[in-house]
Amino acid sequence: MGSQIKPPILVANEYQQWKTRMIQFLNHKNREFMTIIIEGPKTPMITVKGQPATDSSPEIPDRDIPKPVQFYTEKQKDQLKLEEEALIYLTMAIPNDIYNCVDSQSTAKGIWDELARQFEGSEASIQAKQNLCINAYEGFC
C-alpha cells in the first residue's frame, strides 16, 4: 500500500488506483515531481559559437550542446536532483516483473509514459475500447 516514506507498489490489475495513489504520494513529497514527470527532464544547453567560412573550411554554424554537469548553476543542480528523486520513487514503486518491461527508460517521464502505454493503451486503443463499451450499451438498451 505504501506510506509517507514508501511509495505505493504497482499491482498489474490495479493501475488506475496505483496511478492516483502515486500522484498523491509524489505531490506529498514535492509538488514539482509531477511537473518533472509530465514535462520530462530539462537538459541545460550551452551555445557553441560557429566559425565563418574560410578558404580551407566551410562555415560552421552556431550549435547548442548539453551543458557539462560541473558547470550547472545551483538551480540546475537542484532540478537534476529532483529528477533523480522522482526516478527513484517510481522505480521503488514498480515490482520486478513489471520493471523488466520499462527498464529501457532512463527518465521518470519515460517510465511514467511507458507504464501508461502498457496499462492504459495508446489513444487509438482507448478510443476503440470506449466505442466497444458504447456499442455494447446501445445494444443492451
Indicate the DSSP class of residue 93. T
Nearest to 106 by CA among 83, 81, 82, 122: 83
Chain-centroid distance of CA 48 in Å reads 29
19/34 Cα distance (integer angstroms)? 11
Residue 45, C-alpha cell as written in the block: 544547453
Summarised one tens digit per residue, pLDDT across range 51-82 is 888 888 898 899 999 999 999 999 999 999 99
Q: C-alpha cell of 97?
A: 516483473
Residues 17 and 35: their CA atoms lie apart, in Å, by 20
Give this prediction's pTM: 0.74
